[in-house]
């Protein structure tokens, strides 16, 4: 069998997580517990999913690790940055996502994960008040300090490879600006000039990661790597990038359920989505400028699946202009819920002769429990992509993300349809394993 020249997963894989909050500590604790055989990594595609390779009598269904060389859980080493100095054990206890009995067995390992000082700008997350912050005068100094952190961590932990994952808060919305975000030279000049309006702290993390030869994954809806200048950097450094925003609860439902309406040729007049959530993510999103970033991400899903211009009779009515169904997304901060998010979807559809019907979905989910396996898969698959020599935007990882990156400068549209995304994922794994990418994405 042809391994398609993917380098083997030898040595330790350092996963450096920006943010040591609920998502990060749930992810870390789960991996540490799973490799001790004390829990199961449920929800992780890389650990459970099987993909068909070959056709006819040559057909086999194999787990990812038998098709491509994926890093083992035993080889993972965790590092972190956070504005709060608490170690991962303290942070996991504080987050109250996991029960004490599911944290205690790996307490020693978690206590050793002490967050490095974060590159932080309070203007980007006004609700956060941590003091474990780097004293950097400019954005460029942030980049240099973060690069040094990555180098030091890699050396101290004897890691062969590093992946950097953003699991921190949503920053305020940074609109794409052609003068700063389109060319790498302009982006670097803006960092050196300390242009704080156009350069978010997350961009410093991404720049540092890629320059240090580490794939970068954006797990929030931040603009960070979703700009041509970062695509250029990823090409230059030959590194994979993926983003943006973990697709965990409501958007997962939307990207999986809306194909039912579309495939069955039913009409849609409106889709109202609302959420309550009480963790730090909810607190940050209570700030309108931060919510705007999330709203743009959550709204983009439906419009690429149920398209008014393709089916005007079905999807061309419902809003004031009567050009498209009405689509609204809301998130409400509600502290008693903590990490146990609740999402309601009220869907107004119509059928034969225009008669109206309703669908209601109530998803009582656990935000971090859904996000943790995505973190694992995104890290392992980005590491795999790097070893396979794949760089730039990794479209095959769209399955895990709310608003998948795409080249909007060329009019490319993101694929948001869950089953098409799954086909892209399977085809990429097949290709990297030296098999034929044999499924149509349509």
Give the model's pLDDT for residue 3.
53
Name which of 324, 394, 435, 432 is nearest 69 in CA terms: 432
Rounded Cα gap, residues 400 and 421, in angstroms: 9
Name which of 75, 210, 201, 109 is nearest 150 in CA terms: 210
Rounded Cα gap, residues 271 and 361, in angstroms: 11
Is the preceding omega at residue 359 within 30 degrees of 0, hence cis?
no
Q: Are 39 and 419 in contact (CB under 8 A)?
A: no
Q: Cβ of 357: how many Cβ atoms within 10 Å?
A: 11
Backbone angles phi, psi at 405, to 5 degrees: -65, 145
Rounded Cα gap, residues 207 and 119, in angstroms: 12
pLDDT tens, the chain, 442 aa long: 445 789 999 999 999 999 999 999 999 999 999 999 999 999 999 999 999 999 999 999 999 999 999 999 999 999 999 999 999 999 999 999 999 999 999 999 999 999 999 999 999 998 888 999 999 999 999 999 999 999 999 999 999 999 999 999 999 999 999 999 999 999 999 999 999 999 999 999 999 999 999 999 999 999 999 999 999 999 999 999 999 999 998 889 999 999 999 999 999 999 999 999 888 778 888 888 888 887 877 777 898 999 999 999 999 999 999 999 999 999 899 999 888 999 999 999 999 999 999 999 999 999 999 999 999 999 999 999 999 999 999 999 999 999 999 999 999 999 999 999 999 999 999 999 999 999 998 8
Give the model's pLDDT for residue 280.
78
Give the model's pLDDT for residue 287.
85
Domains of the chain in start order, with CATH, are 12-246+368-432 (3.40.50.720), 250-364 (3.30.360.10)
Give the model's pLDDT for residue 1.
45
Q: How many residues make up the chain in this entry?
A: 442
Rounded Cα gap, residues 75 and 184, in angstroms: 34
Q: Are 430 and 67 in contact (CB under 8 A)?
A: yes
Give the model's pLDDT for residue 205.
98
359: left (phi over 0), alpha (psi -120 to 50) or beta: beta
Rounded Cα gap, residues 67 and 61, in angstroms: 10
Rounded Cα gap, residues 91 and 29, in angstroms: 11
Give the model's pLDDT for residue 208.
98
Q: Are 217 and 165 in contact (CB under 8 A)?
A: yes
């Amino acid at each position: 069998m042809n391994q398609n020249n993917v380098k083997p997963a030898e040595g330790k894989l350092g996963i450096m997580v920006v943010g040591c909050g609920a998502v990060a500590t749930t992810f870390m604790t789960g991996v540490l517990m799973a490799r001790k055989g004390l829990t199961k990594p449920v929800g992780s595609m890389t650990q459970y999913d099987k993909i068909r390779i070959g056709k006819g009598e040559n057909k086999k269904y194999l787990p990812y690790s038998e098709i491509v060389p994926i890093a083992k859980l035993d080889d993972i080493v965790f590092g972190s940055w956070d504005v709060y100095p608490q170690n991962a054990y303290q942070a996991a206890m504080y987050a109250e996502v996991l029960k004490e009995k599911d944290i205690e067995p790996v307490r020693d390992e978690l206590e050793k994960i002490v967050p490095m000082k974060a590159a932080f700008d309070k203007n980007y997350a006004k609700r956060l008040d941590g003091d474990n912050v780097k004293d950097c005068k400019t954005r460029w100094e942030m980049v240099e300090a973060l690069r040094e952190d990555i180098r030091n961590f890699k050396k101290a932990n004897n890691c062969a490879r590093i992946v950097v994952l953003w699991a921190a808060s949503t920053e305020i919305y940074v609109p794409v600006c052609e003068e700063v975000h389109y060319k790498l030279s302009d982006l670097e000049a803006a960092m050196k000039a300390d242009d704080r309006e156009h350069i978010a702290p997350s961009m410093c993390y991404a720049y540092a990661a890629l320059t240090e030869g580490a794939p970068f994954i954006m797990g929030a809806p931040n603009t960070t790597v979703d700009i041509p200048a970062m695509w250029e950097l990823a090409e230059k450094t030959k590194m994979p990038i993926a983003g943006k925003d973990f697709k965990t609860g409501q958007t997962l439902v939307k990207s999986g359920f809306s194909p039912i309406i579309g495939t069955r040729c039913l009409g849609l007049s409106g889709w109202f989505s609302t959420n309550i959530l009480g963790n730090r993510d909810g607190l940050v999103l209570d700030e309108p400028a931060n919510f705007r970033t999330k709203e743009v991400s959550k709204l983009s899903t439906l419009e690429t699946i149920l398209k008014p211009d393709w089916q005007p009779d079905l999807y061309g009515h419902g809003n004031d202009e009567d050009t498209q169904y009405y689509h609204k997304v809301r998130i409400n901060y509600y502290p008693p819920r903590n990490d146990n998010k609740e999402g309601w979807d009220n869907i107004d559809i119509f059928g034969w002769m225009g008669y109206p019907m309703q669908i209601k979905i109530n998803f009582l989910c656990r935000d971090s429990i859904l996000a943790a396996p995505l973190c694992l898969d995104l890290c392992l698959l980005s590491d795999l992509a790097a070893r396979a020599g794949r760089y730039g935007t990794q479209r095959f990882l769209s399955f895990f993300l709310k608003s998948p990156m795409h080249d909007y400068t060329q009019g490319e549209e993101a694929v948001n349809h869950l089953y098409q995304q799954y086909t892209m994922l399977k085809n990429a794994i097949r290709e990297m394993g030296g098999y034929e990418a044999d499924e149509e994405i349509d």
